[in-house]
Chain A
Amino acid sequence: MMEKMIFGRYVPADSIIHKMDPRSKLLIIFLFVCVIFLANNALTYALIGIYTFLMLGLSRIPVRFLYGGLKPVIWLVLFTLVLQLFFTKEGTLLFELGPIKIYEEGVRQGIFISFRFFFLILMTSLLTLTTTPIEITDGIETLLHPLNKIRFPVHEMALMMSISLRFIPTLMQETDKIMKAQIARGVEFASGPFKERIKAVIPLLIPLFVSSFKRAEELAIAMEARGYRGGEGRTKYRELSWKNADSLQLGFLVILTILLILLRS
């Protein structure tokens, strides 16, 4: 289940977006999140919509994967829509039923904010759908590199992230094994009252914790035996390469930003 959440997200495909440098993708997403707040009328929202769908088209990700990313948050979008509808009290009154009053501005805000949400989710899923977790880690590491100057442990953080990524499937397998062992001893994970089921997690978590600590210790010894002594003087095997397409994409977003500034009301 977790594996699907984290690894099933990446959809391999041969597209321009897949081949982009993770740094440019991270930058674009970060800028996009800021820029989207510039939109405040139908025209600017339409522009953002066109941009988002253009990017989605370029990524060649099948629609069902995008829908998979949207599904868990669709309720959140609807909830904000309803909240805006009922609680914005500006503009002309459109509809009245007892205590419920819906104003024009509420409808406008509701639709805009839902769209903003919708585009944000699509763009961020685009990042995780087209970029492997390890690429994202590498991207973050190089982007945060300047923080080394203020003694922020960038290398250590990136190594931690990549080791966690590497061990997720291992721990999944282990959880599965412990679960089966405990089921064989009569623990019920799937049925019974809620309180009992929560309690049943304890004999699963404790062995998992114990073995994780053991793993961590052995891993540390193995790393040290292979000459690991921190980020200093280390070279990197995985290399990121910034291509023309990356600059182009970034330029594209800058143009969008300028248009938004010009066209917003």
Chain B
Amino acid sequence: MKNSIVSLKDVSFQYDTQERYALNHVSFDIYEGEWLAIVGHNGSGKSTMAKLLNGLQFPQSGQIHVCGIELNEESIWDIRKKLGMVFQNPDNQFVGTTVQDDVAFGLENNGIPRDEMIQRVGDSLKKVKMEKFLYQEPHHLSGGQKQRVAIAGVLALRPSIIILDEATSMLDPRGREEVLETVRLLKEEKSLTVISITHDLEEAAKADRIIVMNKGEVFREGTPEEIFSMDEQLVQLGLDIPFSVKMTKAFRVQGIELAKQYLSEEELVKELWTSRSNM
């Protein structure tokens, strides 16, 4: 039932200037329509992964397939149409002088006729709720708004996969929520596959599946519940456990047994007030 949309087979990659492998014999599959979070601390190889997936770098060994196409020098342009990327810094990926110009940039690159461009720019800005900002210049927008424009730019190209490369790490909590909510809605609507590369485990908690990277290798792979039950091990990898998981643990220390791991604050709060009122 699960169709693999991206597959990595025995991929290794090394930067010229470094002795250590940034990625060391990595293999895994990403399935159609899932939200996959790739987590790991700095230097774990997670950002290198993003660069490999859309051909900004090529692996020294191993193979990468995206939508059934093998990634190589010739196929990168086709693959980049199918795989949209949102980067970390909201300012450094805003190419156009106004919101609409920026959304159109990707379309211009792919030689889409002008009439269709106008349509697609309007549509994708509506999807991210930025249609009122058509003529706005980037320095008048908040970080979250800029990231939503970046998502619109990606959407306009009608990709099947969106990669969020630390896309929320420079935003304030509100901007972060704004961006993640937008992606969530779009994923439902367009049955997109989302790959979110992050070191924020709160964000990863909302994914369908998590891959934990460490020292260029896949350390663990599983559902958020499975991953957060690793507990101390995660802390040793330099990752911070979500607040709700920490709380659950603290309750247990106090002798209050809760039914399961809670991955969001709402879930935990709900469990707490309902269980107390039962007594």
B117 touches A225 (CB 8 A): no
Chain A residues whose CB sits within 8 angstroms of the CB of B93 once the complex forms: 218-219, 222
Interface residues on B, range: 35 or more
B114 touches A222 (CB 8 A): no
Cβ of A71 under 8 Å from chain B? no
CA of A253 to CA of B206 in the docked complex: distance in angstroms? 66
B101 touches A226 (CB 8 A): no
B95 touches A234 (CB 8 A): no
| A237-B100 contact in complex given A219-B92, A221-B56, A227-B80, C-beta closer than 8 Å | yes
Name the contact of B91 in the complex, choosing from A215, A225, A226, A238 (C-beta under 8 A).
Answer: A215
A235 touches B112 (CB 8 A): yes
Name the contact of B106 in the complex, choosing from A170, A218, A226, A233 (C-beta under 8 A).
Answer: A226
Name the contact of A218 in the complex, choosing from B89, B101, B138, B154 (C-beta under 8 A).
Answer: B89
Chain A residues whose CB sits within 8 angstroms of the CB of B121 once the complex forms: 237
Cβ of A255 under 8 Å from chain B? no
Which of A21-29, A123-131, A161-169 participates in binding chain B?
A: A161-169
Beta-carbon nearest neighbor of A217 in chain B: B92
Tell me the A38-71 residues at the B interface (CB within 8 Å).
none
Cβ of A224 under 8 Å from chain B? yes
A170 touches B139 (CB 8 A): yes
A235 touches B81 (CB 8 A): no
Cβ of B108 under 8 Å from chain A? yes
Chain A residues whose CB sits within 8 angstroms of the CB of B107 once the complex forms: 235, 237
Cβ of B238 under 8 Å from chain A? no
Cβ of B54 under 8 Å from chain A? yes
Beta-carbon nearest neighbor of B138 in chain A: A166
Tell me the B97-132 residues at the A interface (CB within 8 Å).
97-98, 100-101, 104-114, 117-118, 121
Beta-carbon nearest neighbor of B56 in chain A: A221
Within the complex, what minimum Cβ distance (angstroms) separates B17 from chain A?
A: 15
Q: Which of B51, B80, B109, B110 has the most CB of A within 10 A?
A: B109
Beta-carbon nearest neighbor of A163 in chain B: B95
Chain B residues whose CB sits within 8 angstroms of the CB of A166 once the complex forms: 94-97, 137-138
Cβ of A134 under 8 Å from chain B? yes
Chain A residues whose CB sits within 8 angstroms of the CB of B101 once the complex forms: 134, 237-238
CA of A77 to CA of B259 in the docked complex: distance in angstroms? 85
Cβ of A223 under 8 Å from chain B? yes
Beta-carbon nearest neighbor of B153 in chain A: A226
Chain A residues whose CB sits within 8 angstroms of the CB of B94 once the complex forms: 166
Name the contact of B108 in the complex, choosing from A214, A218, A235 (C-beta under 8 A).
Answer: A235
Chain A residues whose CB sits within 8 angstroms of the CB of B84 once the complex forms: 226
Cβ of A173 under 8 Å from chain B? yes
Beta-carbon nearest neighbor of B106 in chain A: A226
Chain A residues whose CB sits within 8 angstroms of the CB of B92 once the complex forms: 214-215, 218-219, 222
Beta-carbon nearest neighbor of B50 in chain A: A225
Cβ of B228 under 8 Å from chain A? no
A170 touches B138 (CB 8 A): yes
CA of A134 to CA of B100 in the docked complex: distance in angstroms? 13
Q: Provide the A183-225 mask, 1 if CB < 8 A to any CB of B, else 0.
A: 0000000000000000000000000000000110011011111
Interface residues of A (CB under 8 A from B): 134, 162-163, 165-166, 169-170, 173, 214-215, 218-219, 221-229, 233-239
Further 14 A-B residue pairs, CB within 8 A, beyond A225-B80, A226-B105, A237-B104: A166-B96, A166-B138, A169-B139, A219-B93, A222-B95, A224-B56, A225-B54, A229-B77, A234-B108, A234-B109, A235-B107, A235-B117, A237-B108, A237-B117
Chosen A-B contacts, 26 in total, with CB atoms closer than 8 Å, are A134-B101, A163-B95, A169-B137, A169-B138, A170-B138, A218-B87, A218-B93, A219-B92, A219-B95, A222-B87, A222-B92, A225-B80, A225-B85, A226-B85, A226-B109, A226-B153, A227-B110, A227-B157, A234-B109, A235-B111, A235-B112, A236-B108, A236-B114, A237-B101, A237-B114, A237-B118
Interface residues of B (CB under 8 A from A): 51, 54, 56, 77, 80-81, 84-85, 87, 89, 91-98, 100-101, 104-114, 117-118, 121, 137-139, 153-154, 157
